[in-house]
Chains A and B, each alone.
Chain A
Amino acid sequence: MSESGNSISTAYDSKIEGNIIFTQVDAAMNWMRSNSLWPMPMGLACCAIELMASGASRFDISRFGSEVMRFSPRQSDVMIVAGTVTYKMALAVKRIWDQMAEPKWCIAMGACASSGGMYRSYAVLQGIDQLIPVDVYISGCPPRPEALLEGLMRLQRKIGTEHALADQKRELIAELTA
C-alpha cells in the first residue's frame, strides 16, 4: 500500500491522527479481497483429500484468509477444482461456476484438473480450463498442502495486480475523462 499526501507522517500509530492509513482504493480492495478468499471446494477426487488436509490444523489454510470452505457458490470467492473432472461432472462444475458472484477466481489443483492428468480417456475432461477460466494451476498428483498454499499465495499476488475499481467503474471513468 502506498502513502500519499503531505510530509507529516501518517503512520498507523501517529500521535497526530492515530489509526489512519492513506492508500489507493484499488490497493485497499485488492488487499481485502486477496486476504479473505473463501474457497468453494470442488473436491472431486484424491486432491480433495489434500485440500481437506490443507484445511485441517497442521497446514491451516485459514491462516491465509480462507477461513471457511463455503460450499455455497453464492458465498465463496475462489473455486478450487481438486480432482478428476469427468464429462458428466463437468456440467455440474460449470453450473456452480456460473452461480458464483463476481469477483471470482479459479484454482485448478492437481494434474487432473489442469490437463486431464493420467486419464487420457473417453470419460475425462482434459482440463477444467476447457470450461472455465483458470487463474492458477497447481501441479502434482496430488500436490502437497504446501503446494496448494503456495498456489493460494500466488493467486493473492495476482489479485494484488488487479485494477479493481477501474474495472468496476469503467463507464464512469470513460465518461469523466472524455
Chain B
Amino acid sequence: MTAADAANALQAKFASRILKRVNFRGEETLKVDPASLKAVLTHCKIDLGFDYLVDVSSLDHFGDDTAETRFEMVYELYSYTAKVHLRIRSDVPDQTGKVETVVDLWPTANWHEREVYDMMGIDFKDHPDLRRILMWEGYPFFPLRKDFPLGGKETDVPDVAFTGSAPLAGGPFVTVPSNATTLHREPRSRES
C-alpha cells in the first residue's frame, strides 16, 4: 500500500465526507468533514493499519478571512507495516466546539490532546484527563493563539505561579529570506 492507495481507499469509502485531497511530493493530505472525523480515523487505524499516531496539532486561522472556522485539527498518521505516512485535517466546528478524542484508538493521543488544549483551548470530548500539560493549572490564557502576544501577559495566581511580560526590545527578530548579503539578511527587528 502506498500513501496514494490509502487515500484512494478512504475516498472510496467516505466519498463526499472527504472535502479535499492534496498530494505534495508524495505526501497525501485529506481534509475531512468534522462530523465524520472519528469514523475516518477509526477506519485508518483498524482497516488500513495506521498503527502509529505521529502527532496531533492544531492551527489558528485568526485574522485569515479565507478560513471557514478559526481552529483546525491536523493528525499525522504512520503505518509501520506499510511504511506509509498520511495526514488528516479537519475544521473544529466553531470556536467553542469540541473535538472527539482519539485516545481510544491511539493512547499516545492523551498527552498530544492535552497539549492542544493547553496551547489552543480546543476541548476534547470524552478525554480521560483533560488538563494543562505545559503551563500550570489555573493559567488563564492559551499561549499559542494568534492573538496572544509573544512576550506573554501578566498573571498572578498566588501559590501556584505567576508570569510577567517579557521585554522584547524591538519585537521578534526575524530574518528575511533573500539572496542579499548577510548584512541584509541577519535577524533584526522589522518594525522600523
Let me know if A122 and B161 touch, CB within 8 A: no
Let me know if B135 and A88 touch, CB within 8 A: yes
Within 8 A of A (CB), among B103-126: none
Let me know if A121 and B136 touch, CB within 8 A: no
Main secondary structure of the interface of B (DSSP, over half): loop
A-side contacts of B162, CB under 8 Å: 87
29 interchain pairs, CB-CB under 8 A: A87-B136, A87-B162, A88-B135, A88-B136, A91-B161, A116-B166, A119-B166, A120-B150, A120-B167, A121-B151, A121-B152, A121-B166, A122-B141, A122-B143, A122-B148, A122-B149, A122-B150, A122-B151, A122-B153, A122-B163, A123-B134, A123-B135, A123-B143, A123-B163, A124-B166, A125-B164, A126-B164, A126-B166, A126-B167
Let me know if A122 and B160 touch, CB within 8 A: no
A117 to chain B, nearest CB (A): 11
- Name the CB-closest residue of A to B160: A91
Q: How many A-B residue pairs have CB under 8 A?
A: 44
- Name the CB-closest residue of A to B163: A87
- 20 further A-B pairs in the complex, CB-CB below 8 A; given A126-B166, A126-B167: A87-B162, A88-B161, A90-B161, A91-B160, A116-B166, A120-B150, A120-B151, A120-B166, A120-B169, A121-B151, A121-B152, A121-B166, A122-B148, A122-B150, A122-B152, A122-B165, A122-B166, A123-B135, A123-B163, A126-B164
Chain B interface bracket (under 10, 10 to 19, 20 to 34, 35 or more): 20 to 34
B-side contacts of A130, CB under 8 Å: 164
Interface size of A in residues (CB-CB distance below 8 Å): 14
